[in-house]
Chains A and B, each alone.
Chain A
Amino acid sequence: MAHATETTQTTRRDFLMLATGAAGAVGLGAVVVPLVSQLAPDAQTIAAGAPMDVDLGPIAEGQAIKLFWRGKLIFVRHRTKKEIDEARAVNVATLPDPQTDQARVKEGHEQFLIVYGNCTHLGCVPLGNSPGDPKGDYDGWFCPCHGSHYDSSGRIRKGPAPLNLPIPPYAFNADTKIRIG
């Protein structure tokens, strides 16, 4: 009998310990939620990413501008006929990140290339927007940090960067007016 009593005692004690420990773990877990989620972008930062209207009219052929949306750098390039043709002549299958030029611009607005302006390697800003800049081996951009070459469609051609310059979400709402976001 004495033995049985002890077993029940032990079991009850163990169960109580287990339940208390579990409740404590749940509590600690709940505390972590606010401590971690405060690291995420706050409401102001998220709201600041509202769509932005840009007039591309003033950008002359062969020129490029830089602008910021959600704090991220964006290149808008008014491409020449030569640059467009170069971008379309290449065999897509040979590219590190295969993508056609047609998929990277809006139909009817082929002259405007709009891409995020940070190298997909480690985030430096590639050169190639100003007239005197090196444009790399493919008439696009050249990243001076680690030597990545982008072509006139913003696709990676040579160097350590793994991916093409990404395309931000945008749409034309007039011939030379876009809305980013």
Chain B
Amino acid sequence: MSTTPFRLALAGLSFGLALTANALTAQAAGDRVIPPQQSWSFSGPVGKFDRAQLQRGFKVVKEVCASCHAMSLIPMRTLSQPGGPEFTPGQVTALAATYQIKDGPNDQGEMFDRPGRPADRFPSPFPNEQAARAANGGAYPPDLSVLAKARTYERGFPQFIIDIFSQYQEQGPDYIAALLAGYKEPPQGFPPLLPGQNYNTYMPGHLIAMPQPLQDGQVEYPKGPDGKSPVPETVAQYGKDVAAFMVWMAEPHLEARKRIGMQVMLFLIFFGGLLYYTKKKVWSRMPDGSTAH
């Protein structure tokens, strides 16, 4: 009809945007460092996990992280399910047997330890939160099961709108990978660290209770045919592999979701096209026989 209202709406919107830009500058002054974006094999509409990366990530988690962090929601059997690290069922059974699982009560009414089975969840390193805090100087190492989805940072306007279309949603792993490699000496002028405090570039507020968990060369990766690991055994690489594994833990059906999603979207386009032409056909003829549309 008339373009005036739209022009006015645009004017209003640009006022809103100006306000937002204002807000963003205010926010950027905060003590949060935005983690750099990594390239992940599982991002985008056809993303898939890199099996080797998940297997490496699991190795680091098992050998390093799991000594303090629980993964209490993850059944070990899922390590061999499709769309994950895809260890063989035999490997998983052998792995499960290395854990002692509390079971019972038995006929004498006592709890007992037995070797783990694939159906068991990963046993937690501490029996409860209090014990975990007591052993870690009062800090609670969070459960890793869904942590990759529980960590994020504000994207701000207009980036969060663009993210809808670019499908960027890897704030969690980007942050985790950056955090694990983000330990350094506090800069000049930073208040002196108290015992149990560590400086990390990417931790909001920079103070983190977890001491630097990884060192270069700490975890040995599987060797390629040339006798060397195909990826560097460095903190940066460990961090990325751990983050990828944590994404799988948080979203074990990611591959199925994206695969089915593609089928659904293609079907909807096809069906929508048919409906469009059917609708046009129906409306091409009014009940009184006229062709008013």
Contact = CB atoms under 8 A, between A and B. Distances in A.
Contacts of B271: 20, 23-24, 27
Secondary structure at chain A's binding surface: helix, strand, loop or mixed? helix
A19 B277 CA distance: 11
Given A13-B281, A27-B267, A44-B75, A20 B275 contact: yes
A30 B267 contact: yes
Interface residues of B, number: 16
Interface centre among B107, B267, B270, B274 (most CB of A within 10 A): B274
Interface string A139-151: 0000000000000
A143 B119 CA distance: 35
B56 interface: no
Interface in B230-279: 267, 270-271, 274-275, 277-278
A17 interface: yes
B69 interface: no
Given A27-B267, A30-B267, A50-B118, A20 B77 contact: no
B59 interface: no
B131 to A, nearest CB: 26
Contact of A47 (B75, B274, B277, B281): B75
A50 B274 contact: no
Contacts of A30: 267
Given A47-B118, A50-B117, A50-B118, A20 B278 contact: yes
A16 B267 contact: no
Contacts of A44: 75, 119
Secondary structure at chain B's binding surface: helix, strand, loop or mixed? helix
Contacts of B278: 16-17, 20
Interface string B76-91: 0110010000000000
B114 to A, nearest CB: 9
B274 A19 contact: yes
Given A19-B274, A27-B271, A50 B119 contact: yes
A124 interface: no
A157 B270 CA distance: 62
A80 to B, nearest CB: 23
Interface of B: 75, 77-78, 81, 107, 117-119, 267, 270-271, 274-275, 277-278, 281
Q: List the 10 closest pairs (A to B, CB-CB), nearest first.
A: A47-B119, A20-B274, A20-B278, A23-B271, A47-B77, A50-B119, A50-B117, A13-B281, A16-B278, A23-B274
Interface of A: 13, 16-17, 19-20, 23-24, 26-27, 30, 43-44, 47-48, 50, 58
Given A47-B118, A47-B119, A50-B118, 5 more contacts: A16-B278, A20-B278, A27-B267, A43-B77, A43-B81
